[in-house]
Structure 1
């Protein structure tokens, strides 16, 4: 492989910054409408970001527009850093989050759709900042990289390498032979679902501002709320919570299946092995949690249903169990109740769910359901091979044999994921967290989940972490969002060798 095409990398980073700045400008009218001084800080942040992007774009005209794998990995990782560095400017320029460590943490938590926050009083924040905070979720949810490759043909640049590095999950199903058309369709679905949820939430009783913010946070499986109590604020409005449950589940579903559903090909959904595990797994686990909530709560823990019950205790237990299970599995991180107070058994189940994740090809983080399916099938095959050592028995997924390379990749991913989890937990204890909090913060950051356990539980936040711990958690969010290999490969010596 030849040397890196640096100009195409800089040019793409410039385009990423320009688009990021444009999204900042969209937040300005919200501050203007509410007559907030924050509008000046957000506007200046947008101007600086766009200006930086224009410099990178126009002063780096490449002689070749071909993007190889190395350039793809660099563009995605550096693109995410550019997003986070420029994305924290509205917080810094308005003075709402004056510390760089805090601003970067909040920003990367947004773009990575983690939803962890250092803010203690969210409702006191300017509306323009709250909108920008939710917008970072929405941008990161599908990936601004995918958005950008939808317009790359206009620039004479091909985007297949970028899509492979950015798209979540172990496989990249295409809706169209041209990768740019796939990106356009993904974003069209994303926008359509976001606006659908917005109108439904408005109909259910949310204000228009809260509805658009929660719609963006839901479809991105992000979890930033405009309320201090998150979705628990709407415990007296069950319809709001049921709508969010539905769209969290959809956001955690492979967008290719959503596309087929919108095209009327519903049968394709239940032909998907991953979807069946995802759907029935969510229902079964929610049922178990609901039974625990109703009958087996630990008496030393506070009551679970401590808010007005609209339709009775059974309905409330079912709704909150379904809400929290869906929220954790899809890595959205919304909170309707403090699930760490339900029982120690329920807490253990939720901790296990930290390592599940939604479907591949969705906006959710985590390991992903399909990886677990293939790992389990591969493990069971080892028993057969022990009895029949000469038999050639491939792993089958959706009734098709899975290439050994993919199986090895998935197993390697999981091993590295768990190794990072163990080492990172130890590092966070060294940086001042107790063991339970370190477990929770690591699992939450790496899986892009949000609320966790201990001092970072659903009723707490990450403000008390040391700056070093915040930077480290931000790093975990980044590698978790970009599926480990995209970032970690940059630290390998052979990546920088000329082949």
Structure 2
């Protein structure tokens, strides 16, 4: 383990966070908040910047960085950024408990949207802004952001990007990795700005528009009202956010292909067809079910479209309390929690590509057993899927299930019903936020003990990084000195 390069890169990331922590100070001044809000962010920015400076005073002579270091850097960076980012909430008194603040900030950076707050409307504007701004930072990945803005980080970071970018495969859109990161971030920020403008035109206040655009862009779901998006009661706002969530749940490489006029690359994307198929099919099924049970047809279509968009992209915004929906519709949403968004997006979950390949693998095995002499191959994105890839996805899924079951058992020690325990784990490991039962869209995670809150905070980070980086971080062999 090259500990010096690990510490150096972590220091650079802390310096970035120190600069970002200054932005809420501007918000605090604009809204004339008590001095403690500005001072809390300023103090944490100074301390974070100093620690980052100490880590980066000397460039390591040995800059070698391999997969092991990449996993450790990614894991530690998300934990440290969440820890330092939580301290302003404690200092200004908006979230007095460090455990609660760490949960809230981890939820922000991982774009989960789970909350321990009983009344989010009590937060100051600066706290609301920083809470949702973490969605924007974490949406594309904090290390992708670092690569986009920092020089001299090209040769060492391919293993970091592989560890952080979600999905079964990793690819660059241009030859130079830092240029890829910058292009993706420009697309990301332009789409966010457009979302802000559309929301303003739809009648949402300016500050509210930024908060909800950050939530949609990062597919995080932090809002600023206790009822999420429901209090605005606007069809146009719901359509804008619904479409935005779907767009941010798509692979950002597809937008690069659109910009460069490689339209065939977009239209032949099999993952995109699966993704849209899940959305259209689920919306249709829920609409039909709700319209025959509890909703009018138009209200059923409105609520199902928004809820499906929110859940499959793992955003977590809500307009209706789906905890009160009939069981069939709830089960569809619960299934979408696991499917998640496309690889290379800001969304969480298992990812559409993995689910599609798992389904194809199961169907292929069925054909092989039915017709033993028939040669059947698995193809995805018009290419044959190699056995190594199928094995990797299967191993990931098995590990995911084992960890999921273990977590449900642990969380179940503090819940009175299976639905709450199951959905709490599903909503955190898949970076969704609201679940069912005691963690439903009109509830929160405040009832859990500090131990479970810390555990679920790490689970959110584990889910965002797709399990392996966090597991490797706690592996003793990783910390042995390299020869």
- Give the TM-score normalised by structure 1: 0.93
Task: State whether structure 2 residue 465 is matched by structure 1 residue 482.
Answer: yes
The CA distance in 2 between the partners of 1:252 and 1:266, in whole Å, is 19
2:77 is matched with 79
Tell me the alpha carbon deviations over residues 425-458 of structure 1, each in whole angstroms, 9 at most, x when there is no partner: 1101123453221111110011000110111111
Task: Report SS of the residue matched to 2:152.
Answer: helix
The CA distance in 2 between the partners of 1:22 and 1:394, in whole Å, is 51
Tell me the alpha carbon deviations over residues 65-119 of structure 1, each in whole angstroms, 9 at most, x when there is no partner: 2321111011000011111111101111211111111011001011111100111
1:120 is matched with 118
Task: Report SS of the residue matched to 1:154.
Answer: coil
Q: Structure 1 runs of 4+ off > 4 angstroms?
A: 387-392, 496-499
1:301 is matched with none
2:130 is matched with 132
1:314 is matched with 297
**Tell me, which stretches of 5 or more residues in structure 1 are unaligned?**
298-303, 305-312
Cα offset, 1:494, TM superposition = 4.9
The CA distance in 1 between the partners of 2:477 and 2:396, in whole Å, is 19
Cα offset, 1:155, TM superposition = 5.3
Would the alpha carbon gap of residues 348 and 145 (structure 1) be closer, same or farther in structure 2, given more than 3 Å must change? same
1:242 is matched with 239
1:51 is matched with 50
Q: Is the 8 A contact 1:441 1:456 kept in 2?
A: yes
Task: Report SS of the residue matched to 2:33.
Answer: coil
Q: Is the 8 A contact 1:44 1:93 kept in 2?
A: no
RMSD: 1.7
1:42 is matched with 41
Q: Is the 8 A contact 1:23 1:135 kept in 2?
A: no
Tell me the alpha carbon deviations over residues 251-306 of structure 1, each in whole angstroms, 9 at most, x when there is no partner: 11001112222334444322111100111220111011111121123xxxxxx5xx
The CA distance in 1 between the partners of 2:467 and 2:214, in whole Å, is 25
Cα offset, 1:162, TM superposition = 0.8
Residue range with higher mean Cα deviation, 245-254 or 154-163: 154-163
Tell me the alpha carbon deviations over residues 379-404 of structure 1, each in whole angstroms, 9 at most, x when there is no partner: 12212333555665432111111121
**Tell me, which stretches of 5 or more residues in structure 2 are unaligned?**
none
The CA distance in 2 between the partners of 1:70 and 1:380, in whole Å, is 35
2:231 is matched with 233
Would the alpha carbon gap of residues 264 and 200 (structure 1) be closer, same or farther in structure 2, given more than 3 Å must change? farther
Cα offset, 1:482, TM superposition = 0.3
Please, which of 399, 404, 414 is the counterpart of residue 387 of structure 2?
A: 404
Q: Is the 8 A contact 2:147 2:154 kept in 1?
A: no
2:162 is matched with 164
The aligned length equals 480
2:101 is matched with 103
1:346 is matched with 329
Would the alpha carbon gap of residues 264 and 240 (structure 1) be closer, same or farther in structure 2, given more than 3 Å must change? farther
Residue range with higher mean Cα deviation, 38-47 or 455-464: 38-47
Q: Is the 8 A contact 2:341 2:347 kept in 1?
A: yes
Cα offset, 1:317, TM superposition = 2.0
Please, which of 82, 86, 89 is the counterpart of residue 87 of structure 2?
A: 89
Task: State whether structure 2 residue 404 is matched by structure 1 residue 421.
Answer: yes
Task: Report SS of the residue matched to 1:150.
Answer: helix
